[in-house]
Structure 1
Amino acid sequence: MVRVETDGRVRTLSFDRPDSKNAFTAAAATELIEALETTADSDARAVVLTGDGDAFSAGGDIEAMAARDETPREAYDRVQSTLNALIERLLTIPIPVIAKVNGDAVGAGTNVVAACDFAYADRDARFGEVFGNVGLIPDSGGTFILPALVGLRTAKELTMTGRVFDAESAAAMDLINDAVESDELDDTVEELLATLAKKPTETLGLTKRGIHENIGRPFRDALEREAHLQVLAYGSEPHETGVNAFLNDERPEFR
């Protein structure tokens, strides 16, 4: 359900249920979590997340929902161990995660895109917080990641109306970085990967950690957390490499 491919130090994870528009099941979420865990323990410097076929992900598998017979406690445990665990891993893996949105990303698909560090979409892709259509609230981090990206009022409008919107609209509201033509999507992501490859991955991980851990913190606590992470950066090899390169008027080459 999740295909893993490695090219150099880039790990590509692809939703692999094209017949169902890559709809999420608990098993698919678990496989993706495991793939992210393996990637975090590898020497990969970036992750690309995409879908097979003509969709990124159609969100939750409605047929699987209809077949469930579980208590409230069982439902809570399932959500915590699958969707919530997946979003937490996307937010905490210490390397950049790029969503390459090759087609529609709705429901949980929209919120997985929101949880990635970068997102570029085919101009024909569609997005939507369509949970209300099946009597559910936004999950997969949609109640806190989405407002952080698009703003509180827009997040309420999207989640309460279930409006489906195109990639250009998604870019305009900062849900994604950009909408591009389908034949430009691969090159756009490759250009970003080339840029990130020149940066110190350890430092990028600390930067990502600081941004995510400070969402919603009071400003004094946020500044304290920022200072803590900066101390870690001061003691790192990338900092030493960068300072020495600057003093020698050289371009830094980070390992």
Structure 2
Amino acid sequence: MGQTQTGQTVTLQKQDGVGIITLNRPEVFNAFNQQLNQDLLEALKKVAKDPEVRAVILTGSGKAFCSGQDLNDRTDLDKERPSLGESVRKRYNPLIRAITEMEKPIIAVVNGVAAGAGCSLALACDLRIVSERTKFVEAFVRIGLGLDSGSSYFLPRLVGFGRAMELAITGRDVEAEEAVQIGLANRLVPHEHLQEESLRFVKKLAQGPTRAIGLIKRSLYRGIDTDVEGALEYEAQLQEIAGGTEDFREGIRSFMEKRPPRYQGR
């Protein structure tokens, strides 16, 4: 394992081109407080800028992935009318933007419960790998809140509008097997092999054409909310960029030479 950089509430490790970000408040199931928001955003910015990191794992320490907002940390609840909207804008929205705008694959390894903003965090990642101990909960409605941190965007796009409505207004638990069946998660791995298998999978992504993966992310986010003509034109623009990368040239060379490509992420 590469060098470990530790904030107060997040650890960051590097191994074979993979940045491993671990939420590290296990005593409260990795619930968000202000420090965790800050440390996670800093870690996401670091891996986004680090040329040695070509794929990212986001996971949790202990028994949970992330249980959402730490309600014991909400000092503004003492106010007659706390400004939750401002809190979402300042503390959570930047995290979701950092994930979606990162031009590298970022995989949520959901090792336990992902609830509320923790569920949103996992849904914002490009893929989700789960174990039998995983549980997704759109828990907002349980405390009289609407969705936030991107769940209203990601949830219906992953599972469809009708099922998204059901999960959001009931706040029920979604176990791992159901999560895979309905498209909330991508693959189910036995818990004792979760970290090992996930790291093996993400290492393969780290060996891929990183620039192309970043462009694919861009095109999918744009394409899902545009018309056909707009999608076609944006694809053409991005393909122009891809055609100028060293990875594209290596892909062509390896094909002609009948050998596996050796991508450098450039």
Please report the TM-score for the alignment, with normalisation by the length of structure 2.
Answer: 0.90
Q: Secondary structure at the match of 1:143?
A: helix
Rounded to whole Å, the distance in 1 between the matches of 2:241 and 2:80 is 44
Q: 1:72 to 1:230 in 2, by over 3 A?
A: farther
Q: 1:215 to 1:73 in 2, by over 3 A?
A: farther
Q: Does 1:41 align with 2:23?
A: no
Cross-structure match for 1:120? 129
Contact 1:11-1:46 at 8 Å conserved across structures: yes
The equivalences for 1:122-137 within 5 A come to 122-137=131-146
Rounded to whole Å, the distance in 2 between the matches of 1:195 and 1:46 is 9
Contact 2:207-2:263 at 8 Å conserved across structures: yes
Q: Secondary structure at the match of 2:129?
A: strand
The equivalences for 1:1-255 within 5 A come to 1-43=9-51, 44-65=53-74, 67-68=76-77, 75-255=84-264
Greater Cα shift, 236-245 or 24-33 = 24-33
Rounded to whole Å, the distance in 2 between the matches of 1:70 and 1:151 is 37
Q: Secondary structure at the match of 1:242?
A: helix
Q: How many aligned residue pairs are there?
A: 255
Which runs of 4 or more aligned residues in structure 1 lie more than 4 Å from their structure 2 counterparts after TM superposition? Answer: 69-74
Task: Please list the CA deviations of residues 104-143 of structure 1 after superposition, one character each: whole Å capped at 9, or x if unmatched.
Answer: 1111111111111121112122111110111111111000
Greater Cα shift, 123-132 or 64-73 = 64-73
Q: 1:60 to 1:244 in 2, by over 3 A?
A: same
Amino acid of the residue matched to residue 34 of structure 2?
A
Q: 1:71 to 1:33 in 2, by over 3 A?
A: farther
Rounded to whole Å, the distance in 2 between the matches of 1:253 and 1:149 is 32
Amino acid of the residue matched to residue 24 of structure 2?
D
Rounded to whole Å, the distance in 1 between the matches of 2:232 and 2:12 is 38
User: RMSD in angstroms over aligned alpha carbons?
Assistant: 1.8
Unaligned runs of 5+ in 1: none
TM superposition shift of 1:198 = 3.0
Greater Cα shift, 184-193 or 153-162 = 184-193
Contact 1:26-1:78 at 8 Å conserved across structures: no
Rounded to whole Å, the distance in 2 between the matches of 1:229 and 1:248 is 26
Contact 2:56-2:202 at 8 Å conserved across structures: no
Please report the TM-score for the alignment, with normalisation by the length of structure 1.
Answer: 0.94
Unaligned runs of 5+ in 2: 1-8
Contact 1:24-1:59 at 8 Å conserved across structures: yes
Rounded to whole Å, the distance in 2 between the matches of 1:61 and 1:251 is 47
Amino acid of the residue matched to residue 15 of structure 2?
D
Rounded to whole Å, the distance in 2 between the matches of 1:134 and 1:75 is 13
Q: Secondary structure at the match of 2:22?
A: strand
**What percent of counterpart residues are identical?**
35
Greater Cα shift, 164-173 or 194-203 = 194-203
Contact 1:23-1:61 at 8 Å conserved across structures: yes
